[in-house]
Amino acid sequence: KAGVTQTPRYLIKTRGQQVTLSCSPISGHRSVSWYQQTPGQGLQFLFEYFSETQRNKGNFPGRFSGRQFSNSRSEMNVSTLELGDSALYLCASSSSGGGIYNEQFFGPGTRLTVL
């Protein structure tokens, strides 16, 4: 069974631009969560989707948004990029409705650099 895939793996953008990251969960997984990882702030929870509905959200500004499609694939969008948005963005999927309470399988991440 294929693991969680994230595209693109690397991305370079400039301040003010917007970016969309994609995540394909493991087949059959319906819960998808997103995390931001930076050297300064560590790992921070962004949001979780289950069956196309956002059911939990971290403490990030409204510039960070996401959605989930009927096939469980998820996208994350960041508008009006700031230098501080440079980070590794990780996506994780879980097989059951328990989402973050259960084992999450992480993708390799998308490395976003904002210049």
Partner 1 sequence: AQSVTQLGSHVSVSEGALVLLRCNYSSSVPPYLFWYVQYPNQGLQLLLKYTSAATLVKGINGFEAEFKKSETSFHLTKPSAHMSDAAEYFCAVIRSNDYKLSFGAGTTVTVRA
* Binding positions for partner 1, rule: CB under 8 A: 4, 33, 42-45, 56, 58, 90, 92, 100-101, 103-104, 106-109
Which DSSP string corresponds to 4-49? -EEE-SEEEE-TT--EEEEEEPPTT--EEEEEEEETTTEEEEEEEE
Looking at beta carbons only, is 11 or 100 nearer to partner 1?
100
CB 6 within 8 A of CB 21: yes
d(CA 65, CA 28): 23
CB of 89 to partner 1, least distance (A): 11
CB of 49 to partner 1, least distance (A): 14
d(CA 61, CA 102): 27
Looking at beta carbons only, is 34 or 78 nearer to partner 1?
34
CB of 37 to partner 1, least distance (A): 9
Looking at beta carbons only, is 35 or 68 nearer to partner 1?
35
CB of 115 to partner 1, least distance (A): 22
d(CA 111, CA 115): 13
| Residue labelled with tokens 């493991």 | 26
Looking at beta carbons only, is 1 or 70 nearer to partner 1?
1
